[in-house]
Amino acid sequence: MAKLYFRYGTMGSAKTLNLLAVAHNYRSQKKRVLVLKPRLDVRFGPGIVESRAGLRAEADMLVDPDTALDPARFEGLDCVLVDEAQFLSVAVVEQLRALTRAPGLPVICYGLRTDFRTRLFEGAARLMELADSIEEIKVTCQYCNKKAIFNMRLQGGRPTVDGAQIQLGGDESYVPVCYPCYASKIGEIGDPHPVRNAAESLRS
């Protein structure tokens, strides 16, 4: 049976660039690839998959939280590639899992693991539970040379823990950070226990 892959990393870790490279490699071998993404991601225009390096492609399929994936639509393909997988609903992730069995396609999902409060996104959480292979795409912290593991949200150039979980943005809105830098920067705005308090704020 084909596998479900989850390749995650922070903002700026070249996840989309990796996806586009994989798509190019398949197509250069005359193989059929379908690129799928959540409809809500309109940062670069409706249906556009674009990396920070400037490479772009058009998605073949856009999905909503309640989208029903017809297995017949995927017959004859060699691979399914998913961008911004953290925004997928549990139902869509489970349908992607099913595609690895019938029609039997590898499905490679790229996305964030956690939000700016260090909590798992819905789609990422289900992928962590269901994926055959979980791979980290690494990048260094914005402020030091440690590995980045969190996404810090900026507002007016300053870190914040306020706002909705999903807020689209680029380098002006998010930076990749390690835990010590996250704790230090969030502490500067008056939160001495940023990870613990972020988690508590979501539960309340």
Q: What is the pLDDT at residue 202? A: 46
Is 200 annotated as catalytic?
Answer: no
pLDDT above 50 for 204: no
**Higher-confidence residue: 185 or 52?**
185
pLDDT above 90 for 123: yes
Q: What is the pLDDT at residue 26? A: 97
Band (130; pLDDT cuts 50, 70, 90): very high
Token representation of residue 60: 């073949």
Q: What backbone phi and psi angles, to 5 degrees, belong to 98?
A: -65, -30
For 89-105, the pLDDT digits (tens) are 999 999 999 999 999 99
Q: What is the pLDDT at residue 37? A: 95
For 151-199, the pLDDT digits (tens) are 999 988 788 888 778 666 556 789 999 999 999 888 766 555 555 555 4
Q: Which listed residue (50, 58, 75, 84) is catalytic?
A: 84
Cβ atoms of 52 and 12 closer than 8 Å: yes
| Residue 71: how many other CB atoms lie within 10 Å | 14
Interacting residues of 104 by C-beta distance below 8 A, sequence separation 6+ = 1, 2
The arrangement of strands across the sheet holding 158-160 comes to: 158-160, 150-155, 174-177
Least confident of 78-82, 144-148, 192-196: 192-196
**Higher-confidence residue: 141 or 204?**
141
Band (16; pLDDT cuts 50, 70, 90): very high
Query: How does the average pLDDT of the chain come out, rounded?
Result: 88
pTM attached to this predicted model: 0.87
CA distance linking residue 148 with residue 164, whole number of Å: 22
Q: What is the pLDDT at residue 186? A: 86
Which residue ranges form the domains of the chain, and what is each CATH number?
4-136 (3.40.50.300), 150-203 (no CATH)
